[in-house]
Amino acid sequence: MATWATTWATMNETTELLKKVFERGAEKIGTGAVAAAQQARTASAADVEYVAGHKNMLQLIELRWIAVIGQITTIAGAILIFDVRLPLVQMLEVLACLIAFNIASHLRWHEHRPVTNSELFLALLVDVASLTMQLYLSGGTTNPFAFLYLLQVILSAVLLEAWSTWTIVGITLACLAGLSVFAKPLALPFDHARGISSLYVQGMLICFTLNAALLVVFISRITNTLRGKAAQLADLRQRAAEEEHIVRMGLLASGAAHELGTPLATLSVILGDWKRMREFKANPDLLEEITEMETQLKRCKSIVSGILLSAGEARGESAARTTIRGFLDKLVDEWQHSRPVREFSYMNRIDHDLPVAFDSALKQMIDNVLDNALEASPDWVGVEAGVTDGTLVLTVLDRGPGFAPAMLAQFGKPYQSSKGRPGGGLGLFLVVNVARTLGGTVQAGNLPEGGAAVTLTLPLSAIALDKET
């Protein structure tokens, strides 16, 4: 009786210890990991900003090539068709400078480089300067193409920060004022009364058409880029919040694993003493129960060891050399013999056994999906494994009630569970994030004949052994 009392006291102590660990877990979490997650979020957001800036710079380069073609066409048409006298040599020199600048911009920005607001601002200033010089040589404000300044102003309002936009507005206004004072008027007949037959009115119509067409095309592209940036930032914020949650749970689990080691070791010693006692040896039923208790205790110790091995890294020092078939066959066999599943179906369709590296975090991820299937369908659980186009595809099937539509819509989000208990849904949340860390995906759906299927896909490149290993 004293031994029984000691055992129960130890079990109660373990339970209370686990409760205390999780109750004060938030207080025990270090701020270093959380700060690292916040730094990663900031860096990722900066990357998104740079990617959007790079796309916008490429748009400006493309627009500048259109401007070059437009200027060549306009100059040639004005001289050859309308017989307008223009300083051809000086205008071609300005055009050559613009072409040289655009070639240099293309050479610098054709690769994926970060682009800042100041660099976009400088690029637009060059465009404004080029347009100002061409207008100065071709009539100043009397040139109907002076309204192209509006294109630069609108682009700056979309692409640049507020101070840069207002600077562009001030510079273009100063350029227009300077042109009206210093530029020589264009030798065009002042015949507005002729309406659309007037050369000036025709130039205004062409300018308006160019402005409208270029704005519609490029503002639409830039808007799509901005929308994509906003969507990426929203996704990064969501992912950062989830990863911060994982960091906190990982630190909490690691602390719990350390503190649970001692009481689990004590229980193991006590159960070993029981098996050697004559009272238990003479009772087969009690001996069988003790054996089952030892099995479950070994499983608990294995889980604790796995947490300590894989804490912090999805693939860390716990990674082991093995093969795809060997890893899955062993995992499925261990899971089947340690769970009370009534009927289990396992189909391994992997033809070529490839050497790979698997670790405890990946094993726990697959075990978690199997445990959820078993909880939903205690009578039958199925597993199908295969390789398609260099990707491992693992499907876990059950014959339970399936996923509710609301659950499918929020699949993989924390605390989204149909089990109706506090803290539910963290298992699938961890599964989705471990798979995402390794470059894979997790998809869930209901089967037409009833039940549910969860499919894990993982690129073989994420788990393949390096050649030198």
pLDDT at 195 over 90: no
The encoded tokens of residue 131 equal: 């347009």
3-state class (DSSP) for residue 378: coil
Q: Using one digit for the tens of pLDDT, what is the confidence trace for 362-403?
A: 787 888 889 888 888 989 999 999 998 889 999 999 999 988
Q: Which residues pair with 322 in a beta bridge?
A: 356
pLDDT band for 136, please (50, 70, 90 cuts): very high
Average pLDDT in the 231-260 region? Answer: 65
Q: Where does 192-351 show beta strands of DSSP type E?
A: 320-323, 343-348
Please state the pTM of the whole predicted model. 0.49
pLDDT at 252: 60
- Write down the mean pLDDT value for the chain: 77
- pLDDT: which is higher, 355 or 34: 355
pLDDT(10) > 70: no
pLDDT of 199:
75
- Tell me how crowded residue 245 is: count the other CB atoms within 10 A of its CB: 17
- Cα separations in angstroms, 157 against 109, 162, 169, 302: 22, 7, 9, 60
> What's the pLDDT score for residue 371?
87
Residue 337: which pLDDT band, with cuts at 50, 70 and 90?
Answer: confident
Percent of the chain with pLDDT over 90: 24
pLDDT score at 437: 76
Spell 75-98 as b/e; 16+ CB within 10 A means b.
beebeeeeebebeeeebeebbeeb
Residues 6+ apart with CB under 8 A from 27: none
pLDDT at 39 exceeding the cut of 70: no
Token pair 């749970």 in the structure block, residue: 249
- In this predicted model, what pLDDT tens digit does every residue of 112-132 receive, in sequence order? 678 888 999 999 999 999 999
Average pLDDT over residues 344-365: 82
Highest mean pLDDT among 10-14, 104-108, 272-276, 427-431: 104-108
* Mean pLDDT of the 244-265 span: 62
| pLDDT class of 414 with cuts at 50, 70, 90 | low
Most confident of 50-59, 336-345, 361-370: 336-345
Lowest-pLDDT range of 88-102, 322-336, 453-467: 453-467
The closest of 136, 128, 96, 115 to 51, measured between CA atoms, is 115
Q: Where are the beta strands (DSSP E) in 349-450?
A: 355-358, 380-388, 391-398, 441-446
Percentage, residues of the chain above pLDDT 70: 72
Q: What is the pLDDT of residue 224?
A: 85
pLDDT digits (tens, 9 = 90+) for 298-316: 777 666 665 555 554 444 4
Question: For residue range 152-191, what is the model confidence (pLDDT) as tens digits?
Answer: 999 999 889 999 999 999 999 999 999 999 998 876 666 6
Q: Is 387 helix (H, G, I), strand (E, B) or coil?
A: strand
Mean pLDDT of 210-231: 84
pLDDT surpasses 60 at 419: no
Closest CA to 75 of 145, 23, 129: 145
In the chain, the N- to C-terminal Cα span, in Å, equals 56
Domains and CATH numbers, the chain: 2-25+246-310 (no CATH), 36-240 (no CATH), 320-463 (3.30.565.10)
Residue 317 has pLDDT above 80, yes or no: no
Q: What is the mean pLDDT of residues 434-453?
A: 87
- Over residues 197-218, the mean pLDDT reads 85
From start to end of 272-431, where are the E strands? 320-323, 343-348, 355-358, 380-388, 391-398
Q: Is the pLDDT of residue 268 over 70?
A: yes
Burial (0-12, 13-18, 19+ Cβ within 10 Å), 312: exposed
pLDDT at position 312 is 44
Whether the pLDDT of residue 410 is over 80: the answer is: no
pLDDT higher at 339 or 21: 339
